[in-house]
Structure 1
Amino acid sequence: MDRWRSLQEPGTVFDNPFLSPEFTITVGEVRDVVRVAVLHDGPEIVGFFPFERHPLGIGKPVAAGLTDAQGIVHVKDLELDPRRLIKNCGLSVYEFDHLVAGQPLLDSRHERHPSPIIDLSEGYERYTEFLRQHSGKTYKTTLAKARKLEREAGKIRHDYATADVAPLRTLLGWKTDQYRRTGRTDRFSQRWIVELVERLLATRSDSFAGVLDMVYADDQPVAGHFGLRTSTTLVGWFPAYDPRFAKYSPGLIHHLAMAERAAGSGIRVIDMGRGQKEYKDKLKTGELQVAEGRVARAGASAGVHWLLRVPARRTRAAVMANPILLKTADKALKTYGKLRTVLQG
């Protein structure tokens, strides 16, 4: 554990709670497919490779589909044969969609994607100066809407890093409604994900913790977020808000409040994660890069996996890269979500 943490130095791509030993261990408590390969160079431990091993030797990142940072946590300039690694892990294929930069698993075939961040290394005031210069209209409008929310709904309060389970349940309820409303799969219909989030909320140390925060107006919950942190990096994970307050842009109000409190607690970077969202474009100060693809050994299992996964991934990437196709797909999903809500109601 100490060696693993020592490789997660602040300012490196490994300074991300999804790459922390505590995250892998907690997921392993609710999923028996989790494994960790410990990499040695002679007597020295030079890396850790957390992964999930599924039937037919299919390997995935820990908590695949939920995490925004994946890969090997390793010493600088580590050299290894990726196919030998996955063979020694009992895998035919290792697939990923948020592989961090500088990985020995990466090659030129893998697709790169931006992952927006908020840089708080110079403090919250410096960040707001950046917003005034680059997203001035958004920043001023958000402050005005916060004042309007306070006038019309009551005094605003922000609880940051609370351990209370009740607001977590409220947040997950909003998130479930959002998934259904927009035609997405409800992640919280899977009991292990709910249990994982609850366990992470209860996990607190200097180097790793679950972070729940909620904005209230006159004690009514308006917007919130559950994420994870190291000592210096906070990752965006599950943001949501009460749609009754939508006209006030509660998500933006919350993100500014969260950034201020996070900066005050020593957070230098908020990683908002891969994915094209309007609020990320308005709030970001820069971007990291993550990669999507797979490492595979020759064999029947790898061939079946390619047929089932790769064409679909390329189709999705083509849609995401085309604004017209993306808008059409998003509209179709929302229409499906409305129909599903009516039928289930």
Structure 2
Amino acid sequence: MDICVYRPGELSAADRVAWTALQSKAHLNGAPGLANPFLSPEFTLAMGRCRRGVRIAVVREDGEPAAFFPFQRTATGVGRAVGLGLSDCQGLVHGPGFGWDAQELLRACGLAVWEFDHLVEGQPPFEAGASGTFPSPVMDVDQGYEAYLSGLRERSPKFTRTTLAKERKLARDSGEVRYVHDERDPAALRALMEWKSAQYRRTGRSDRFAHAWISRLIQQLFHTRSEPFAGILSVLYAGGRPVAAHFGLRSERVLACWFPAYDPDFSKYSPGLILHLRMAEAAAADGIAYLDLGRGQKEYKDSLKTRELAVSEGWVTRRHPIAVGHRARRAPVRALRNAVLSRPEFFDPADRVLKRMGKIRSRSQVTAKTTKT
């Protein structure tokens, strides 16, 4: 393989066009998962502006780009998927019939190990290192929104009836319900981030937006526009007031759901569910094939999904002491996390503890603010 490794700013315009072309034809070549916006050049370039160590390996055949492998690496050769822990789709973007040797690729990239947690399906050289595979539910809208809604009524009649009734009640109680699929008001994005931060704290989770680089990344992607790619902020309004919002990424055929949140004052109306149905309707009208809800077991995902993709986590390693040490440190953490998430007898008590801690933390922050004022 002829492999060249570039910093994000060094990638030529021609290579970017070739990368996008591979994604646009992925569904025709039997690999629709490669069209995911997390695998786009725009996401990798945005990550490169926010994090160190982002690189892109371009594999050429007869002088022409045949595959693109975005990754992050440390000075010691520890590699990871771009946005590991944040991105919902990872892997090597390639054309039909392309094969590669994982060991040769890592060697050319200067990596002792490459870690992933959302590996897209259809990557055998990487899948050999997978330690687990997990469902990633999707909402298919390629046949139109009415077909999706009809299927939803058949699968979950009570859920569908209740959600639509709550939307009507929201309109009666709060005023006209209005949906904006691609909201460009930065104030709406700030509201979403504030709601999401409060949700993280309330449920005892780590606040992602407390990390300056993540907030900066979201801001950059919000302002990123190209023919196939965009950061999409969708907002549900009631009586002119935003009550739910979502920020995700879209490619030509996939809307990747990423950061949903809502105003807790309106929780009884399930505004997040209403928002997702409106998103599905708008995405179908926009030519999107499916909404990827992302890995993770959530009740609302089970209610909305039409099917599931599979994503994998694990490591591809070379025979190197750095690889052995990295895997030895990371494997127990991943195994414990997956055991807790997959077993209700572990997850439910852990979730209750986190929520109690979140309430205590929230009360402490309120008390601190009151004391200062």
TM-score, length of structure 2 as denominator length: 0.90
> 2:362 pairs with 316, 341, 344, which one?
341
Higher alpha-carbon deviation: 95-104 or 23-32: 23-32
Deviations 1:276-298 (A, max 9, x none): 01100000000111100001122
> 1:43 pairs with 45, 63, 66, which one?
63
Q: Which residue of 2 aligns with 1:107?
A: 128
Q: CA contact under 8 A between 2:182 and 2:233: conserved in structure 1?
A: yes
Deviations 1:219-259 (A, max 9, x none): 11100100010121100000000011111111101101111
Q: Which residue of 1 aligns with 2:38?
A: 18
Report the Cα offset of residue 10 of structure 1.
5.1
Q: Distance in 2 between matches of 1:160 and 1:134?
A: 26
SS in 2 for 1:97: strand
Report the Cα offset of residue 45 of structure 1.
1.8
Q: Which residue of 2 aligns with 1:266?
A: 287
SS in 2 for 1:341: helix
Tell me: CA distance 1:53–1:239, structure 2 relative to 1, closer, same or farther (3 Å): same
Q: Distance in 2 between matches of 1:170 and 1:267?
A: 26
Q: Distance in 2 between matches of 1:79 and 1:188?
A: 38
Q: Distance in 2 between matches of 1:290 and 1:265?
A: 26
Q: CA contact under 8 A between 1:10 and 1:232: conserved in structure 2?
A: no
> 2:201 pairs with 176, 180, 184, which one?
180
> 1:224 pairs with 234, 240, 245, which one?
245
Report the Cα offset of residue 206 of structure 1.
2.1
Q: Distance in 1 between matches of 2:172 and 2:235?
A: 19
TM-score, length of structure 1 as denominator length: 0.97
Matches within 5 A, 1:242-281: 242-281=263-302
Deviations 1:125-159 (A, max 9, x none): 00000000001111100011111111111111111
SS in 1 for 2:127: coil
Matches within 5 A, 1:56-95: 56-95=76-115
Matches within 5 A, 1:196-235: 196-235=217-256
Report the Cα offset of residue 71 of structure 1.
0.6
Report the Cα offset of residue 109 of structure 1.
4.6
Q: Distance in 2 between matches of 1:55 and 1:306?
A: 17
SS in 2 for 1:235: strand
Q: Distance in 2 between matches of 1:314 and 1:110?
A: 9
Report the Cα offset of residue 76 of structure 1.
2.3
Are 1:189 and 2:210 matched, yes or no?
Answer: yes
Deviations 1:95-148 (A, max 9, x none): 000000111311175311111000001000000000000011111000111111
Are 1:3 and 2:28 matched, yes or no?
Answer: no
Q: Which amino acid aligns with 1:34?
A: V
Identical-residue share of aligned pairs (%): 50
Are 1:53 and 2:73 matched, yes or no?
Answer: yes
Q: Which amino acid aligns with 1:297?
A: R
Report the Cα offset of residue 271 of structure 1.
0.5
Report the Cα offset of residue 41 of structure 1.
2.7
Q: CA contact under 8 A between 2:89 and 2:119: conserved in structure 1?
A: yes
Q: Which amino acid aligns with 1:7?
A: L
Are 1:331 and 2:352 matched, yes or no?
Answer: yes
SS in 2 for 1:13: helix
> 1:316 pairs with 325, 334, 337, which one?
337
Q: CA contact under 8 A between 2:129 and 2:315: conserved in structure 1?
A: no
Residue correspondences, number: 345
SS in 2 for 1:213: strand
Higher alpha-carbon deviation: 279-288 or 8-17: 8-17
> 1:130 pairs with 138, 145, 151, which one?
151
Q: Which amino acid aligns with 1:227?
A: G
| Consecutive unaligned residues in structure 1, runs of 5 or more | none
Deviations 1:40-72 (A, max 9, x none): 233232100000112421111112211110010
Q: Which residue of 1 aligns with 2:138?
A: 117
Matches within 5 A, 1:281-320: 281-320=302-341
